[in-house]
Structure 1
């Protein structure tokens, strides 16, 4: 990341600090200069302007740097030191320095909120922030930042391996389902078809073992082979064919794709994924994608949700240290041809066999990617806790819930779910109540039984009343309690996506007069809920009411 002018500037700054007896945070200033060079076209010290620092500290730092909000003061202080150095050495004039100082005065109170705003996080920072840093055994903030930079591709010596970050649990398709899908992979079909066509036609390879241009064109035209060059390289790598000089011969024991058994197909596919990830060949024709094939697949494996092409492009841009990345949509379409990814809901995701194949690659290099348990096979407690901790994609979790419910009558399901969360934290209770809310009136007896439990009672009243069944009226205290309880369920998601939470609250959140009284509720999460509302609600009056209520709730607990 560092270039010559940055190295010289840091050396000069260090010498200047010693001469002037000024304490200089060299690491922080280097980071300022590096990011200014990489993202803001600052090519020398004299290029720094007020707008440079605004972009750096309020946009680039929040997107790239993992740092607590309270560290903003240290960064701004380093920026001020840099300004004094620039003035003293004649790199900038006095008027420019004055404008920068004014800008830094305005930036300083805003920067903590910018560092805490998860909506500003770049893709790589978001992924790293979701990982337990303790698992990386990083002892200091600078080490953490270096790890983020490596993930972003900012360190030229960064390792290309998956890293130390723990992999999420995944749900795999059955071997028979994977084998069936492998038979339909276009690239594998083309590789087998091309081998038969080459050998039966007595065609030859080049002295460099490549497919002849003429043969590639004919294969594309006559056979409909999508990417002849890639299919040929794969055929050689998989040992489907061997060469005697330039003569092309079927490998002994060659078996057509459609005739292979399940075990053979799984082995073939594992080798194919390894080829696509590790072989130095052109996979899509897009340099940025081809140089980051592993990174793209690893990203999709970790997120387990469809990722829009624009977001993939942003991630690749970060890996390429700010270089322009174009043609990602077309490259991903070509990647679909390989069978590892597919289009889903406006984005791309790993195919079930792509997920399986990437996990096999992880195992091959010594990692132990966990398998998510089938939540439908457990009891109510296992279902609820699994939905919280497994990190399963929504569609997989929904399938588990549906299959779990299908094995029980509505009354049995409600009794088990509600019984499992008596005295449990709000998040577990909220998950159980949300599932019970799907059940029809046949669950009435089990829900009515919960009217005797003070924490479940408000939820039970709401469930019964919404179905027109006999139910006592909610008291004001119960209404307040259930409001806090359901908001407590939203805390984890709100911390990840505060903007989305704010939008939902703007449409269906509690009114100001209800929020004002929430501080009275005897709920363990009331302070955290009110602080969240105070920091995220778009309506200033309602947000202020939440902050006042949070203060009262904290004061009450102190007394």
Structure 2
């Protein structure tokens, strides 16, 4: 982290500006120093060279900093001020200062174009730009902390805003208020954390080092030969990373070549839940702190905070292909590991081992315990991270809102079970069906799906909805499935029910076209039914027919569906 020497340098530059009556843009100068430290191995002011400015302003800034091209003048001015200070303070000589000024003069007309060149954008910048950040205040993701706040005790990288004070409202996605999230119960988080590969590896490595009486190198790193033996004997794939985590978690104290296992060290399975939760929160902070060597790709590691932050805000799976596109843009100048298409797959496997994300075929999302740990990280950073209310404590509308929003299947099952447990079957059926009167098909489908779990005891609450035109087909089906007296559906009602059922399935097709096509192959409406559907008085009938036209395997039937869709729209026009 660059925070210590950068803070000292900024104070010196401010004092120099006051003594010389020079206006110093401390925020811009700090950003130059921060990025020079984090990406160019600059550890003191004397390390700056003409090449440092060239890399910063034409490479690092375009990739990392969300800023409009016209802001280049401010950054170039700050670079010139920094050169003046370096010369006056004796950090550089007159010849070096002249070379730096000449290089900055060359950079100045090129930098606006570099900031506007989307092919240069890094992954975090590309993602935030795609989410609408290009109209927001210029913002940088930084590992040094928020303005004036210093570094978080956990070493977590914080957002720092260029030209935005703590009292200003920033609208960029990376700095906008965090959304309310649903969290798994703490006992489930602790149970899952005990099974996280990286956290277990850290405990195994410390136990192995302790039992063998081994010591680290003079700089506190794991010896190469010990790392090889740990991999062979314990099966730990990345022992050096596990060792660094152990040190970060305080499982072991290192001073020079001396290693002391803390008295509080205990195997992970025997720890109390509250202790495991704290270790897990600190593990998530360690993983998302970009400069750490986590995935083996330096470029990807520097974006880990942005990726986790984005998944947290999305609250939904992200297509791996979309993530790959952002990486392709970020690494347009050449990936650190070459052009291996499996590089992202390997990185995601590492993150799965770290426990923060999980991959389901072609999508990736935060794990429930990863979500919990990231919220804890945000909280310890001082960021408001609200928790969404429990749907089980609200009415049917709140439960349906949560389910339609796309929460994980495990969480959905837990919410439904908890909501039903607080009501009798009749109360549940009445609330659910009453809550979706004259609502969209998706909401109606959620209510009907939950009611299908109820037994005959709910009959008295379901039967009144036979008088509701939209809910009648579903009520008839529910009664008949339980061998309860039920009227027969008319042909028109059966057609309406077919359209309504397909309308419920439409959102799912956006995520999994192949699965939906496979389902249609087994249970598609016959051709003569499809040809009649256009006459159904349903708000989604044209979209449903379009859906069938795109996904039906039988070309003739698909063509009939497209024709019916045209008829449905024509009828609507007239």
TM range (shorter): 0.5 to 0.7
CA contact (8 A) 1:179 1:262 kept: yes
Q: Relative to 1, partners in 2 of residues 1:450 and 1:127: Cα closer, same or farther, differing over 3 Å?
A: farther
Which whole-Å CA distance do the structure 2 matches of 1:205 and 1:173 have between them?
38
Task: Find the counterpart in structure 1 of residue 571 from structure 2.
Answer: 552
Q: Give TM-score, length-normalised by structure 2.
A: 0.59
Secondary structure of the equivalent of 1:242? strand
Shift in Å, 1:199: 5.9
Instruction: From 447, 453, 457, give the equivalent of 2:472.
Output: 457
CA contact (8 A) 2:231 2:238 kept: yes
Shift in Å, 1:469: 3.7
Q: Answer yes or no: is 1:378 the counterpart of 2:378.
A: no
Task: Find the counterpart in structure 1 of residue 277 from structure 2.
Answer: 266
Shift in Å, 1:519: 5.2
CA contact (8 A) 2:436 2:447 kept: yes
Give ranges in structure 1 of 5+ residues lacking alignment: 5-29, 39-63, 65-121, 148-157
Which whole-Å CA distance do the structure 1 matches of 2:209 and 2:517 have between them?
61
Q: Within 5 A, what are the aligned runs for 1:85-234?
A: 138=135, 163-164=174-175, 170-195=181-206, 198=209, 203-221=214-232, 225-234=236-245
Task: Find the counterpart in structure 1 of residue 493 from structure 2.
Answer: 478
Instruction: From 358, 364, 368, give the equivalent of 2:374.
Output: 358
Shift in Å, 1:380: 2.5
CA contact (8 A) 2:545 2:564 kept: no
CA contact (8 A) 1:437 1:463 kept: yes
Q: Answer yes or no: is 1:489 the counterpart of 2:492.
A: no
Q: Relative to 1, partners in 2 of residues 1:345 and 1:439: Cα closer, same or farther, differing over 3 Å?
A: farther
Cα displacement string for residues 3-29 of structure 1 (whole angstroms, at most 9, x for unaligned residues): 99xxxxxxxxxxxxxxxxxxxxxxxxx
Q: Relative to 1, partners in 2 of residues 1:165 and 1:291: Cα closer, same or farther, differing over 3 Å?
A: same
CA contact (8 A) 1:515 1:546 kept: no
Shift in Å, 1:543: 0.5
Q: Within 5 A, what are the aligned runs for 1:502-513?
A: 504=519, 508-511=523-526, 513=528
CA contact (8 A) 1:515 1:549 kept: no
CA contact (8 A) 1:234 1:275 kept: yes
RMSD: 4.7
Task: Find the counterpart in structure 2 of residue 400 from structure 1.
Answer: 415
Shift in Å, 1:454: 2.6
Q: Answer yes or no: is 1:246 the counterpart of 2:223.
A: no
CA contact (8 A) 1:441 1:467 kept: yes
Secondary structure of the equivalent of 1:363? helix
Which whole-Å CA distance do the structure 2 matches of 1:464 and 1:165 have between them?
48
Secondary structure of the equivalent of 2:135? coil
Shift in Å, 1:471: 2.4
CA contact (8 A) 1:199 1:250 kept: yes
Give ranges in structure 2 of 5+ residues lacking alignment: 1-57, 60-112, 140-158, 162-171
CA contact (8 A) 1:172 1:352 kept: yes
Shift in Å, 1:468: 4.5
Secondary structure of the equivalent of 2:354? coil
CA contact (8 A) 1:220 1:227 kept: yes
Q: Answer yes or no: is 1:542 the counterpart of 2:542.
A: no
Cα displacement string for residues 427-469 of structure 1 (whole angstroms, at most 9, x for unaligned residues): 3223212322343444433332222223322322233344444
Q: Relative to 1, partners in 2 of residues 1:175 and 1:446: Cα closer, same or farther, differing over 3 Å?
A: closer
CA contact (8 A) 2:290 2:304 kept: no
Task: Find the counterpart in structure 2 of residue 106 from structure 1.
Answer: none
Secondary structure of the equivalent of 1:439? coil
Which whole-Å CA distance do the structure 2 matches of 1:126 and 1:546 have between them?
36
Shift in Å, 1:414: 2.5
Secondary structure of the equivalent of 2:259? strand
Secondary structure of the equivalent of 1:209? coil
Q: Answer yes or no: is 1:293 the counterpart of 2:318.
A: no
Cα displacement string for residues 388-431 of structure 1 (whole angstroms, at most 9, x for unaligned residues): 23x30233213322443455554443233223323434332232
Which whole-Å CA distance do the structure 1 matches of 2:126 and 2:256 have between them?
50
Shift in Å, 1:483: 3.6
Q: Give TM-score, length-normalised by structure 1.
A: 0.61
Which whole-Å CA distance do the structure 2 matches of 1:462 and 1:374 have between them?
31
Which whole-Å CA distance do the structure 2 matches of 1:371 and 1:354 have between them?
15
